[in-house]
Structure 1
């Protein structure tokens, strides 16, 4: 089956990879770290083979695949994370995700994020309506390692902290109206944020580095130190408070 539309392909692959991961977990033959490893490898094989079949001319970057410098010469590069939030996946929580994104000319141009635990797929090309923000803003942070900048900015703006697992789950929580600001400064990689950022941009949110500069993908060094995803009306205030931290 050929997918002519990139958005349909991204959403289908994210959804199917999520279903595969649920089947691997339900098999009952893996536990602990071995479950996360089996899930990662199985979903990765599905995604990379599918993308090479459907889009053989495009570049590809996956967390679970050895990097290939050939992608740097490509205008279109798929950036995937087969299991974003391996710990949460293994613990049978809902706050993990599957990321299928695409960078075009270094920009996060298209993405789909599956939340298999919630039976949901969020797409950059099919934006929905984000619920209005409450009077007291909510800032989502790592449930195990909250970043200092996030906790300090939350205190400065009077925001409530909400702990959550994977990067994709945090970003999609802003779209779902469960939180209002996702500020991260603990370091990530391109596959952690490409698809979620593409979806958030498609839904009209602000996405940037925490100094306000753009997020750029398909770089030789795939490390990304920080990011901010929030409603546009909150961006200036958050960026100002980050800068004030020095």
Structure 2
């Protein structure tokens, strides 16, 4: 992960070739180079595991594997290409549809989040925890404004500045920098899997707005609206959204 982050950083701020894939998703030579490094190292070490990456052609063989690497070589490519620091390398190992090992590395700010199932979350080697309680300070909530405003009712709110990388936005919950973070619809496995475990192991929770669990390595890797927060605050937010749906 550190090697991949350093490679991406070495190309950061340079005139890298970039293009658009699909409808509007930017990609660059830095994404591809970082992806190739991570794939070479991880698949070389674990040839029997499956592979799912934003920058690799999908291999249906992954669906038959119990363990699968899920990778976003540069999460927040728009931020990367704009010269901002809110991008990262994100890698998770998923076993039976749930992440068991995760790392998210933001090279510009030198933040390395790491989690292993049942072993807690660290940031640069120091154990971290999500913020406790149920109160919502909207300056410490990140995500799409219309979504957050549903929680705020009629109150005027000041939102936390946008964080370009979704993985990094979610990881900010794990060390208490944010009270809660939302992912709008259309996020993918590679945006979420590593941050999910990092939040979970930091005494937080991350689910669909309904409270339903997030499952990985399915044929369709797209997800709906999600929320991450400390456990009590997460439960309270899910309850509020459920009540809002039924009112």
TM-score (norm. length: structure 1): 0.84
CA distance in 2 between counterparts of 1:43 and 1:32 reads 14
- Report the CA distance between 1:159 and its aligned residue: 6.8
Secondary structure of the residue aligned to 2:61 is helix
CA distance in 2 between counterparts of 1:160 and 1:175 reads 21
- Relative to structure 1, the CA distance from residue 229 to residue 21 in structure 2 (aligned partners, 3 Å threshold; closer, same or farther) is same
Instruction: Check conservation: 1:182, 1:230, Cα contact below 8 A.
Output: yes
- Report the CA distance between 1:31 and its aligned residue: 6.6
Instruction: Check conservation: 1:102, 1:109, Cα contact below 8 A.
Output: yes
- Relative to structure 1, the CA distance from residue 157 to residue 215 in structure 2 (aligned partners, 3 Å threshold; closer, same or farther) is farther
Structure 1 residue runs of 5 or longer lacking an equivalent are: 1-13
Secondary structure of the residue aligned to 1:47 is helix
Match of 1:8 in 2: none
CA distance in 1 between counterparts of 2:88 and 2:187 reads 15
Instruction: Check conservation: 1:151, 1:161, Cα contact below 8 A.
Output: no
Secondary structure of the residue aligned to 1:182 is strand
Aligned CA-pair RMSD: 2.3
Q: Within the alignment, does 1:15 sit opposite 2:2 as a pair?
A: yes
Secondary structure of the residue aligned to 2:31 is helix
| Structure having the larger proportion of residues in helix | 1
Q: Within the alignment, does 1:30 sit opposite 2:16 as a pair?
A: yes
Match of 2:212 in 1: 213
Question: What is the number of residues matched between the two proteins?
Answer: 228
CA distance in 1 between counterparts of 2:27 and 2:69 reads 23
CA distance in 2 between counterparts of 1:24 and 1:187 reads 28
After TM superposition, the runs of 4+ consecutive aligned structure 1 residues lying more than 6 A away are 156-159
TM-score (norm. length: structure 2): 0.84
Q: Within the alignment, does 1:176 sit opposite 2:175 as a pair?
A: yes
- Report the CA distance between 1:91 and its aligned residue: 1.5
Structure 2 residue runs of 5 or longer lacking an equivalent are: 21-25, 122-126
